């Protein structure tokens, strides 16, 4: 792990990115989607793995049980734009996926999403998480993952987060850009980490209705239990323990899985400044987040 240099961030078409997500750019942009592909889009740390796992189980749990025991989630649901050491390029993994539908993950802001997904009218599931918990989770993720820029320390990272100087750019622009896309593109299911934490069964029902599945109640209950934080944390196929660039001793990928952990990180002053800045940046009153449940 020591040999991998931490990347720097740079402005790329107006968004801060790192080379590990821009080096395969032309191939990613020309990705050929199929109408039944399902794209899972998020700003980093919004619960991508959680929702990916739910969707994977809904589709393939019974069709392909060996998949559950032997293929890590990041191979079942490739990360489209990744091109980093110790990773097969996400675009190549997506091209080679043998499943129907293909489940594909992206952190790209809406303006960078390969056109083919929209032209094919693919189903897109966008997962959003409140800014404060996203910032905390992203900070710890940067500490443990050497393909992320060094977050330095919490107050430095928080400032960078507010200024959009994090990989995949501004959280504010990301969540708002995807929210506004719903007006012109109806095949988006926009969901929230906090809702999933509050009532996983209800959110699974909504996902099923969006993707056109009607599994029996026992299956949905089994999945809701299987994807509880404690269960996914123990599951080597879900907890990223097989990924070489991550040091789980620094901070585990499955870290806390809570709504409101920001309260253990923000000082009173940081919280007040954050709220002030938030009001200026979040102009769309219809997009509302909960920072506690």
Nearer to ligand A3P, 73 or 110 (CB): 73
Annotated catalytic residue, options 59, 74, 87, 107: 107
Cβ 45 to ligand A3P shortest distance, Å: 4
Applying CB under 6 A, does 137 fall inside the site for ligand A3P?
A: yes
Nearer to ligand A3P, 12 or 229 (CB): 229
Contact stretch for ligand A3P (CB under 6 A) within 17-25, 86-94, 213-221, 249-257: 249-257
Applying CB under 6 A, does 256 fall inside the site for ligand A3P?
A: yes
Q: Is 248 exposed, middle or buried (0-12, 13-18, 19+ CB in 10 A)?
A: middle
Asked if residues 40 and 108 have their Cβ atoms less than 8 Å apart, the reply is: no
Applying CB under 6 A, does 255 fall inside the site for ligand A3P?
A: yes
Cβ 79 to ligand A3P shortest distance, Å: 10
Applying CB under 6 A, does 140 fall inside the site for ligand A3P?
A: yes
Asked if residues 103 and 77 have their Cβ atoms less than 8 Å apart, the reply is: yes
Residues 26 to 55 in contact with ligand A3P, rule: CB under 6 A: 42, 44-50
Cβ 233 to ligand A3P shortest distance, Å: 8
Applying CB under 6 A, does 232 fall inside the site for ligand A3P?
A: yes
Applying CB under 6 A, does 261 fall inside the site for ligand A3P?
A: yes
Residues 168 to 197 in contact with ligand A3P, rule: CB under 6 A: none
Asked if residues 114 and 33 have their Cβ atoms less than 8 Å apart, the reply is: yes
User: For residue 248, what are its two tokens?
Assistant: 């789980």
Applying CB under 6 A, does 74 fall inside the site for ligand A3P?
A: no
- Report which of 67, 52, 73, 37 is spatially closest to residue 196, judged by C-alpha positions: 52
Applying CB under 6 A, does 229 fall inside the site for ligand A3P?
A: yes
Q: Which residues of 139-166 are buried (b: 16+ CB within 10 A; e: fewer)?
A: bbbbbbbbbbbebeebeebbebbbebbb
Nearer to ligand A3P, 17 or 57 (CB): 57
Q: How far apart are CA 288 and CA 217, in angstroms?
A: 31
Nearer to ligand A3P, 101 or 226 (CB): 226
Cβ 30 to ligand A3P shortest distance, Å: 26
- Report which of 169, 165, 142, 152 is spatially closest to residue 81, judged by C-alpha positions: 169
Applying CB under 6 A, does 57 fall inside the site for ligand A3P?
A: no
Cβ 35 to ligand A3P shortest distance, Å: 26
Judge whether 59 counts as a catalytic residue. no
In the complex, residue closest to ligand A3P by CB: 257
C-alpha count within 13 angstroms, C-beta hemisphere, residue 128: 21
Q: How far apart are CA 212 and CA 206, in angstroms?
A: 10
CA distances from residue 219 to 62, 202, 293 in whole angstroms, order as listed: 10, 14, 26
Complete edge-to-edge strand list for the sheet that includes strand 123-128: 103-106, 38-42, 123-128, 188-192
- Report which of 72, 65, 59 is spatially closest to residue 232, judged by C-alpha positions: 72
State which of residues 72, 101, 226, 257 lies at the interface with ligand A3P (CB under 6 A): 257
Bridge partners of 104, per DSSP, are 39
Sites of contact with ligand A3P (CB under 6 A)? 42, 44-50, 133, 137, 140, 227, 229, 232, 254-257, 261
Active site residues: 107
């Amino acid at each position: 792990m020591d040999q991998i240099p931490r990347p720097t961030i740079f402005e790329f078409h107006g968004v801060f990115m790192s080379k590990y997500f821009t080096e395969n750019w032309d191939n990613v942009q020309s990705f050929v989607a199929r109408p039944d592909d399902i794209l899972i889009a998020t700003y980093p740390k919004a619960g991508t793995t959680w929702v990916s796992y739910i969707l994977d189980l809904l589709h393939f749990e019974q069709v392909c049980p060996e998949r559950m025991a032997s293929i890590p989630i990041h191979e079942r649901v490739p990360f489209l734009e990744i091109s980093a050491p110790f990773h097969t390029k996400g675009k190549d993994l997506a091209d080679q996926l043998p499943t129907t539908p293909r489940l594909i993950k992206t952190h790209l802001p809406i303006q960078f999403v390969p056109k083919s997904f929209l032209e094919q009218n693919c189903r897109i599931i966008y997962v959003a998480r409140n800014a404060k918990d996203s910032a905390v989770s992203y900070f710890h993720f940067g500490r443990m993952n050497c393909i992320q820029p060094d977050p330095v320390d919490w107050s430095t990272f928080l400032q960078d987060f507010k200024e959009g100087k994090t990989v995949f750019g501004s959280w504010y622009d990301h969540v708002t850009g995807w929210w506004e896309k719903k007006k012109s593109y109806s095949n988006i299911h926009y969901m929230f980490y906090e809702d999933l934490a509050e009532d996983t069964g209800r959110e699974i029902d909504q996902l099923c209705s969006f993707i056109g599945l009607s599994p029996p109640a026992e299956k949905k209950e089994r999945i809701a239990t299987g994807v509880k934080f404690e269960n996914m944390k123990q599951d080597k196929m879900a907890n990223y323990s097989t990924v070489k660039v991550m040091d789980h001793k620094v901070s585990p990928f499955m870290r806390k899985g809570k709504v409101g952990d920001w309260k253990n990180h923000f000082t009173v002053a940081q919280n007040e400044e954050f709220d002030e800045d938030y009001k200026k940046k979040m102009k769309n009153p219809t997009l509302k987040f909960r920072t506690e449940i």
